[in-house]
Amino acid sequence: MSQTKAQLIEGDSDQSIDLSSLVLHGSTSGTATLQATAIAGTETFTLPGTGGTLDRLNRAGNVLQVVNANYGTQTSSTSATFADTGLTATITPSGTSSKILILVNQAGVYKLNDAYMYLQLLRGATKILDFERFGGLTGTTASNGIGSCSLCYLDSPSTTSAVTYKTQFARPSASGTVYVQVNDAGLPSSSTITLMEIAA
């Protein structure tokens, strides 16, 4: 940076310099570049105070985005073939190395007669996790509502294309009916899914 520009920066606080980028040189070697974003309008970039730290957005462990969805329609099954519960959400990772933290609360899990429930998590058409194998099992014909089945799973989709996650359920027993988002007196349970992109 020239002496003239340095004098302007150290002078009147109301003065500004129109720079598309600013290169900071390290004390021994290396540089760091502050680059203006290519967008219309004005942005304010606030540096932390003396007690704060300036973090990189893509530092490992940082949350880059969050997607949330819910589904509250009662859905039932009498089949051993897996079917959609209706709970689904889509996220588009910003980098191929990003991880996706998936949080699911499958609500209103209920069985009638001699039945129990399987639950699984899918990425697209690929099963990535069985998270319930004996939901509602009593070993009898008694009805049983167990409330919610939940999961917390860290996935590595390795893509920057849109990725859809969903849950499916099935009734592997010989008879009976299983439900998710079961409707009680007109008030269905609401299942939720949250997807968090985590920088790797």
Q: What is the DSSP letter of 160?
A: S
Q: What is the pLDDT of residue 6?
A: 43
Rounded to the nearest 10 degrees, how much is the dihedral formed by the CA atoms of 108, 112, 116, 121?
A: -30
Give the model confidence (pLDDT) of 169-178 as tens digits. Answer: 999 988 899 9
Q: What is the pLDDT of residue 9?
A: 46
Rounded to the nearest 10 degrees, how much is the dihedral formed by the CA atoms of 125, 129, 133, 136?
A: -80
Give the model confidence (pLDDT) of 44-65 as tens digits. Answer: 767 766 677 767 778 899 999 9
Tokens of 60: 């490992």
C-alpha distances (whole Å) from 48 to each of 95, 167, 182, 199 are: 27, 42, 49, 22
- Closest by CA to 100, choosing from 194, 167, 164, 196, is 196
Q: Establish how many alpha carbons lie within 13 A of residue 59's alpha carbon, considering only the half-sphere containing its beta carbon.
A: 6
Q: What is the pLDDT of residue 35?
A: 76
Mean pLDDT over each residue of the chain, to the nearest integer: 86
- What is the pLDDT averaged over residues 160-166? 98
- What is the pLDDT averaged over residues 176-200? 92
Q: What is the pLDDT of residue 135?
A: 86
User: Distance from first CA to last CA of the chain, Å, rounded?
Assistant: 35
Residue 5 has pLDDT above 70, yes or no: no
Angstrom distance (rounded) from CA 172 to CA 50: 61
- What is the pLDDT averaged over residues 20-35? 80
Q: How confident is the model at residue 4 (pLDDT cuts 50, 70, 90)?
A: very low
Residue 10 has pLDDT above 60, yes or no: no
The more confidently predicted of residues 2 and 125 is: 125
Angstrom distance (rounded) from CA 132 to CA 136: 10
Percent of the chain with pLDDT over 90: 57
C-alpha distances (whole Å) from 175 to each of 75, 122, 170, 172, 191 are: 17, 26, 12, 8, 25
Angstrom distance (rounded) from CA 155 to CA 151: 12
Q: What is the pLDDT of residue 20?
A: 74
Give the model confidence (pLDDT) of 69-119 as tens digits. Answer: 999 999 999 999 999 999 999 999 999 999 999 999 999 999 999 899 999
Domains of the chain in start order, with CATH, are 63-198 (2.60.120.1340)
Least confident of 33-42, 93-102, 118-127, 135-144: 33-42
198 neighbors 61 (Cβ within 8 angstroms): yes
Q: What is the pLDDT of residue 18?
A: 64
Q: What is the DSSP letter of 10?
A: H
